[in-house]
Structure 1
Amino acid sequence: MAIESRLTPLDETRLDAEQRRVLEAILSGPRGNLDGPFLAWIHSPGLADHAQRLGAFCRYGTRLELRLTELAILVTAAWWRSQAEWQIHEPIAREAGIADDVIEALRTGEEPIFERDDERLVYRLGSTLYATRRVDAALYADAVEAFGEPAVVELVGVFGYYALVAMTLNVFAVRRDTEVPLPFAEP
C-alpha cells in the first residue's frame, strides 16, 4: 500500500543504529509495518521507541474490548479529522462490531445513535473530553461504574495516545490508500 508524507523518505542504508533498532522492534511487533505515525516517529528513535510501546499497550493491552478501543480511536480521528488514522482504523472498527451508521455519523460530525450503552459511554467520555477538556463528576462516575477505574484510566490513555497519533499524521501529511477519496474535507 502506498504511503505518502511530507517527510524525508527513509533510506535504510542511512539509518543509524538507534533507528535500525527501533525499526526492527516495530517490524517484529504486532503491527509489522511502519504504517501511520511510525513513518514520522522513526526519524526520532527515542520518541518512536516509547510511543510504539505505549501504542502497543493502548491498542492490544487494555481491559477494554477491541470494539470499544476502536470506537475511541474513531472518535479521536474524527475530532482531529485525521485522514490516515481514520483510513487505518475504520475497517478495524467495523470488523470489531461498530455499526456502519455509527461510523458514518462520526465521520460526518453528527452525534451517533448507539444501540449499545457501553459505546454511547465511550463516545460521551471522548467527545466531552475533547470539547470541554474535562469530564464532570456524573460522567466520570458512569464510566467507572461501567468499566472500572483501571479501564477508565486506560481509556483516557487511548484517547491521549491516538490524539498524539492524529497530530503526527496531520502535521506530516501522512496519507495512505492514496487512490481512495479522503474521509474528511481538507481545511
Structure 2
Amino acid sequence: MSSTRLPRVPILEPAQMTPEQKRIHDVITSGPRGQVRGPLAVWLHRPALAEPAQALGRYCRFETSLPARLSEWAILILARHWRSDFEWWAHKPAALKAGISTEMIEALRDGRPIPYGNPDEALIHEFLDVLHAERAIGQALYDRIVHVLGEAGVIDLVGIAGYYTMISMTLNVFDIRPPEGKPCELGATEQEGH
C-alpha cells in the first residue's frame, strides 16, 4: 500500500499567491524554465529570496561561459554529492542532450570509475571533488583548470557549484523528490533521528 507524501512546504497555486509572489512566479514561467517547481516553489514563499535566487539560477543554468556539456556534468556531480534525487532527475536528460554519455552518468551515480569522454570532464569532476573535500583549491589544480576553462570559466564553475549546492540543500531540507512515478536513482532515504 503506497501513501502519498505531503510536501513540507505547500506548493502555492497562483490564486493563493500575494501580488509579489505572483509577479516572481510570472517572471520564472516566462523565462527559459517555463515553470516553477522544486526549490523555486519553496523559495516562492519568500519572494525576497526567490527573486535574486531565480535570476542567479537563470545565469548559472543558461548564460555562463561553460558549454552545456560541462555545466550539466557539474550539476550532476553536485546532485550526486548531495544525494539530491530531484536535481539528478531534473538534469540527467539535459546532461544526455548536452553530450554526456549514459555510461559516465551511470558510473557517477553508482560510484564506479568514470569512463570520461573528454579530459575537461575529468578535470571538472576533480575540481569539484577537491573543492568539497578540501574547501579550497591548490595552486597546481587551479592553474590546470584556468588553462582549460579560462578565468571566466572557473568563476562560472564556482558560481554553479555554489548555486546548485543551495538548490540541493533546499531540496533535501524540504524533502522535494522527483514527481510520483519517477525513479529516485541516487538512493536517498529519509534520515530518521537526525
Alpha carbons 2:178, 2:184 under 8 Å: kept: no
Report the CA distance shift for 1:149/1:86 in structure 2 as closer, same or farther (over 3 A). Answer: same
Q: In the alignment, is the contact (CA less than 8 A) between 2:11 and 2:42 conserved in 1?
A: no
Aligned partners of 1:4 and 1:175 also within 8 Å: no
Q: Distance in 2 between matches of 1:90 and 1:18?
A: 32
Task: Tell me how far apart the structure 2 counterparts of residues 180 and 24 of structure 1 sit (CA, whole Å).
Answer: 27
Q: Which residue of 2 aligns with 1:122?
A: 124
| Residue equivalent to 1:109 | 111
Contact 1:73 1:162 in 2 (8 A): yes
1:74 maps to 2:48: no
C-alpha RMSD of matched pairs (Å): 1.5
Q: 1:22 to 1:63 in 2, by over 3 A?
A: same
Q: Which amino acid aligns with 2:132?
A: Y
Listed one character per residue, the Cα deviations across residues 144-170 of structure 1 (whole Å, up to 9, x for unaligned) are 000100110011100110010000111
What is the aligned-residue identity percentage? 42
Q: Provide the aligned length of Structure 1 versus Structure 2.
A: 185
Which one-letter code corresponds to 1:9 in the other structure? I
When structure 1 is superposed on structure 2, of 5-14 and 115-124 the one drifting more is 5-14
| Relative contact order higher in (CA < 8 Å, ≥ 6 apart) | 1
Q: TM-score, normalised by structure 2?
A: 0.91
Name the structure 1 match of 2:65: 63
Partner of 1:154: 156
Structure 2 unaligned segments of length 5 or more: list them.
none
Structure 1 unaligned segments of length 5 or more: list them: none
CA distance in structure 2 between the aligned counterparts of 1:112 and 1:125, rounded to whole angstroms: 15
Structure 1 partner of 2:9: 7
- 4+ residue stretches of structure 1 with deviation over 4 A? none
For 1:43, the equivalent position in structure 2 comes to: 45
Q: TM-score, normalised by structure 1?
A: 0.94
